[in-house]
Structure 1
Amino acid sequence: MTTASTTQHWLPYGSTGTGTRLFCFPHAGASAAVYAGWRGTGGDDLTILPVQLPGRAARGRETPHHDPDALADDVIGGLGPELTGDYALFGHSVGALVAYLVARRIVERGGPPPRHLFVSGRPAPQLPNTRRELRALPTDDLVQELRALGGLPDVLLKERSLLEMFLPLLRADLTVNETYRHVPGPPLPFPLTVLGGIGDPRADEAELAAWQELSADSALFTYPGGHFYLDTRVQEVVEVVRTRLSG
């Protein structure tokens, strides 16, 4: 049973606001805090809700998920009645996969679907993974890959003990991303917007565009900045969200 206290675990910044509620799922190894700066950027018509997944921040004692289906089920069970009414989903990188799976499951189970699905920085789920898998790499190799993406905070590079504490969560998220096997289904019954970084080594433009096969109403937007283009494009992305929701 979902209660206010359990929902608070998932939505650490609260869920107040009158506009469309946008549930935001983070990239691998990240917490809800990556979207904290988004709050208040959507005006009166958009409420940003960063989602805290198990295994991070205040939920650090919980075991992070390794299975994509179990994670999607946990999100739906944890957010419960929040996933009703005027809401949409946003996810970046592995968060895009989580948002997609949550949306797909809600539809399959006859629940109230989101108004819109926004996915960012990940190849379409129906495409095979053609890149080097990261989840089981030796630590030094994994660090090298993450540095190339720009996704490893400097403090973790300087403090090996902090890095070792961080890696199990990161490997769990990478496992979610890399072990997903697509099950074809009918087109999504709501609009889909795809966003990505130009020159992203983990998701090129063709792989991003393939998401558009999943919805009859779709659009693609790309920005300079590689895999972590979101770090410097928050207001632009939020404006795309607002525009697409109003269309």
Structure 2
Amino acid sequence: MVCFPHAGGDVTAFAGLAAALAPELEVWAIRLPGRGGRFGDPMPDSFAALVSAVLAGLSPHLRPGSLFYGQSFGALLAYEVARALPSELRPRIVVPACAPPPPAWPGPTPPTSAGAAELLERCGLATALPDDTAIRELAVAAIRTDLTVCRTYRHRPDPVPGFAIHAVAGAQDRGLPPAVVAGWASATTGRFTTSTEDGGHLLATPLTSGPATLLRTLHAVAAQTPQCGVGCV
């Protein structure tokens, strides 16, 4: 299973999920520019360029039968990367979590520093980050960078891909009701299912809701798709 982080997120967001799903699923995660060991790498200046960069890094490691999981901003990125892959490398299923369907993007303009507190609150990170101004400023800057890139996204309705989609909503996600998440049905010609899990906007992030809210759903979703064994992604 390949995980795509939320705006401003990093691979650490999925550490708890990876531990909980092992050994049934091997979890990989995408590290975007500007965080962790890639702190000095510049973010591409457009969403299309970001998709191309992820494709270049991920494609050599993919095998048929993978699953893509993305939360919030990562859901849109996971979907567009899946669409851009050649048919033999596309995932069997994409799981967008707590994200509006592609036609609804891009969202509102990223707030200025004056809206930092609101931005962290909306992303579920207000109480998760240390009470340190410098750390919070770095977090807000990373979120704003990702959302600024997302502002360049332009939805292409055709061709609609055929991989399955299971869209997930958070029961306590104040900004995104399940009815909006269900709009992902129009993003595939394949099988579509949806569920609402106990948790907030960042369902898989250990510092907020905890990965346990997703475990049963992800196990069930994986069981419905062909398995390719350890190391398949």
How would you bin the TM-score normalised by the shorter chain? Answer: 0.7 to 0.9
2:2 matched to 1:23? yes
Identity of aligned residues (%): 27
Matched, 1:206 2:179: yes
* Alignment-mate amino acid for residue 116 of structure 1: I
Alignment equivalent of 2:114, drawn from 114, 126, 140: 140
The answer to whether 1:102 aligns with 2:75 is no
Distance 1:42 1:76, change over 3 A: same
Task: Give 1:192 deviation, angstroms.
Answer: 0.6
Looking at structure 2, the residues matched to 38 and 223 of structure 1 have their Cα atoms a distance apart, in angstroms, of 15
Offset, 1:233: 5.0
8 Å contact kept, 1:67–1:176: yes
72-81 or 229-238: bigger deviation: 229-238
Q: Which protein, 1 or 2, shows the higher relative CO under an 8 Å CA cutoff with sep ≥ 6?
A: 2
Match of 1:82 among 61, 67, 82: 61
Which residue of 1 is the match for residue 89 of structure 2? 112
- Do the aligned partners of residues 113 and 23 (structure 1) sit closer, same or farther apart at CA in structure 2, a change above 3 Å counting? same
Paired residues of 2:10 and 2:32 also in contact (CA < 8 A): yes
Alpha-carbon contact 1:134-1:142 (below 8 Å) kept = no
Shift in alpha-carbon separation, 1:90–1:74, aligned structure 2, 3 A = same
Whether the 8 Å CA contact 2:197–2:214 is kept in 1: the answer is no
Displacement of 1:154 after TM fit? 5.4
Deviations 1:185-218 (A, max 9, x none): 2332221110111252332222200101222301
How far apart in 1 are the matches of 2:19 and 2:199? 23
Q: Is the 8 A contact 1:94 1:176 kept in 2?
A: no
Residues 149 and 198 (structure 1), Cα distance of their counterparts in 2 relative to 1, 3 Å cut: same
The alignment partner of 1:171 has SS state of: helix
Counterparts of 2:21 and 2:12, CA distance in 1: 17
Q: Deviations over 1:17-70 (max 9, x none)?
A: xxxxx0101111111001011123224331111221111101111112342111
Give the gaps of 5 or more residues in structure 1.
Answer: 1-21
Q: Secondary structure at the match of 1:186?
A: coil
Extract unaligned runs of 5+ from structure 2.
225-233
Q: Is contact 1:32–1:52 with CA below 8 Å preserved after alignment?
A: yes
CA contact (8 A) 2:16 2:210 kept: no
How far is 1:144 from its partner? 2.2
Match runs of 1:51-66 below 5 Å: 51-66=30-45
- What is the Cα deviation at residue 94 of structure 1? 0.4
Q: Counterpart of 2:228?
A: none
In the alignment, is the contact (CA less than 8 A) between 1:28 and 1:173 conserved in 2?
A: yes
Distance in 1 separating the partners of 2:81 and 2:165: 14
Distance in 2, matches of 1:97 and 1:222, equals 18
User: Shift of the alpha carbon at 1:89?
Assistant: 0.7
**What is the aligned residue count?**
220
Cα distance change of structure 1 residues 154 and 243 upon mapping to structure 2, 3 Å threshold: closer
2:227 match: none
TM-score by length of 1: 0.80
Is residue 172 from structure 1 mapped to residue 145 from structure 2 by the alignment?
yes
